[in-house]
A and B are shown apart, each in its own frame.
Chain A
Amino acid sequence: MKKHKILMAAIAFAVLAGAWIYGGNYPEQGDQPQAADTAAQTAEQKEVQGNAEFIRVAAMQEGAEQEAPEQEGAVLPAPDETAEPPLAELQSADVDDGSFTVSLTVRCDTILGNMNMLNKEKHELVPSDGVILEATTVTAYEGESVFNVLQRTMKQAKIHMAFRNTPVYNSAYIEAINNLYEFDVGELSGWLYCVNEWYPSYGCSNCQLKPGDAIEWNYTCDLGRDLGQFWVNGWQVDEYE
Chain B
Amino acid sequence: MNMNKDAFAGFHPVVNMMYFTVVVVFSMFFTHPACLGASLVCAVAYSVYLNGRKAVRFTLVFMLPMLMATAMLNPLFNHEGSTILAYLPDGNPLTLESMLYGVAAATMLVTVISWFSCLNAVMTTDKFVYLFGRIAPALSLMLAMALRFVPRFKVQLKVIADAQKCVGRNASDGNLLQKARHGIRMLSIMVTWALENAIETADSMKSRGYGLPGRTAFSIYRFDKRDRTALAFILACATYVAAGAVTGGLYFRYFPTINGVWGTPYAISIFISHLALGAVPVILNFREDLVWKSIALKA
Nearest-neighbor residue (CB-CB) of A158 within chain B: B84
Nearest-neighbor residue (CB-CB) of A119 within chain B: B255
A98: Cβ under 8 A from any B Cβ: no
Nearest-neighbor residue (CB-CB) of B79 within chain A: A162
Chain A residue numbers with a CB within 8 Å of B172 are 1
Which residues in window 118-154 of A have CB below 8 A to B? 121-122, 124-125, 151
CB distance from B82 to the nearest CB of A (A): 6
Task: Give the complex CA separation of A125 and B172 in angstroms.
Answer: 61
Indicate whether A160 sits within 8 Å of B95 (C-beta atoms), given known contacts A121-B253, A121-B256, A176-B80: yes
Task: Give the complex CA separation of A121 and B251 in angstroms.
Answer: 12
Which residues in window 55-93 of B have CB below 8 A to A? 79-82, 84, 87, 89-93
Task: Give the complex CA separation of A104 and B118 in angstroms.
Answer: 58
Task: Give the complex CA separation of A151 and B82 in angstroms.
Answer: 16
Nearest-neighbor residue (CB-CB) of B93 within chain A: A160
| Majority secondary structure of chain B interface residues (helix, strand, loop or mixed) | loop
Size of interface on B: residues with Cβ below 8 Å to A: 16
A114: Cβ under 8 A from any B Cβ: no
A86: Cβ under 8 A from any B Cβ: no
CB distance from A24 to the nearest CB of B (A): 10
CB distance from A37 to the nearest CB of B (A): 21
Chain A residue numbers with a CB within 8 Å of B84 are 158, 160
B87 engages A27 (CB within 8 Å): no
Of the A-B pairs whose beta carbons lie under 8 Å apart in the complex, a sample of 27, sorted by A's number, is: A25-B90, A26-B90, A27-B90, A27-B91, A30-B91, A31-B91, A121-B253, A121-B255, A121-B256, A151-B91, A155-B87, A158-B84, A160-B79, A160-B81, A160-B82, A160-B84, A160-B95, A161-B93, A162-B79, A162-B80, A163-B91, A163-B92, A175-B79, A176-B80, A179-B81, A179-B82, A179-B255
A181: Cβ under 8 A from any B Cβ: yes
Binding site for A on B (CB under 8 A): 79-82, 84, 87, 89-93, 95, 172, 253, 255-256
B253 engages A162 (CB within 8 Å): no
Chain B residue numbers with a CB within 8 Å of A26 are 89-90
Chain B residue numbers with a CB within 8 Å of A158 are 84
Binding site for B on A (CB under 8 A): 1, 25-27, 30-31, 121-122, 124-125, 151, 155, 158, 160-163, 165, 175-176, 179, 181
Nearest-neighbor residue (CB-CB) of A163 within chain B: B92
Indicate whether A179 sits within 8 Å of B80 (C-beta atoms), given known contacts A122-B256, A125-B256: yes
B80 engages A181 (CB within 8 Å): yes
CB distance from B84 to the nearest CB of A (A): 6
Task: Give the complex CA separation of A31 and B90 in angstroms.
Answer: 10
Task: Give the complex CA separation of A92 and B90 in angstroms.
Answer: 33
Task: Give the complex CA separation of A30 and B92 in angstroms.
Answer: 10
Chain A residue numbers with a CB within 8 Å of B80 are 162, 176, 179, 181
Task: Give the complex CA separation of A176 and B95 in angstroms.
Answer: 14
Chain B residue numbers with a CB within 8 Å of A181 are 80
Task: Give the complex CA separation of A122 and B87 in angstroms.
Answer: 23
Task: Give the complex CA separation of A162 and B93 in angstroms.
Answer: 7
5 more A-B residue pairs beyond the given contacts A160-B93, A161-B93, A162-B80, with a C-beta to C-beta distance below 8 A: A31-B91, A121-B253, A155-B87, A160-B79, A160-B84
Task: Give the complex CA separation of A165 and B91 in angstroms.
Answer: 11
CB distance from A197 to the nearest CB of B (A): 27
Task: Give the complex CA separation of A176 and B84 in angstroms.
Answer: 14
CB distance from A178 to the nearest CB of B (A): 9
Most A-side CB within 10 Å, residue of B81, B89, B91, B92 = B91
Most B-side CB within 10 Å, residue of A151, A155, A162, A175 = A162
A179 engages B92 (CB within 8 Å): no
Task: Give the complex CA separation of A64 and B80 in angstroms.
Answer: 33
Task: Give the complex CA separation of A122 and B84 in angstroms.
Answer: 17
Chain B residue numbers with a CB within 8 Å of A176 are 79-80
Nearest-neighbor residue (CB-CB) of B78 within chain A: A162
Chain A residue numbers with a CB within 8 Å of B255 are 121, 179
Most A-side CB within 10 Å, residue of B80, B81, B90, B172 = B90
Indicate whether A162 sits within 8 Å of B82 (C-beta atoms), given known contacts A121-B253, A155-B87: no
Task: Give the complex CA separation of A31 and B89 in angstroms.
Answer: 11
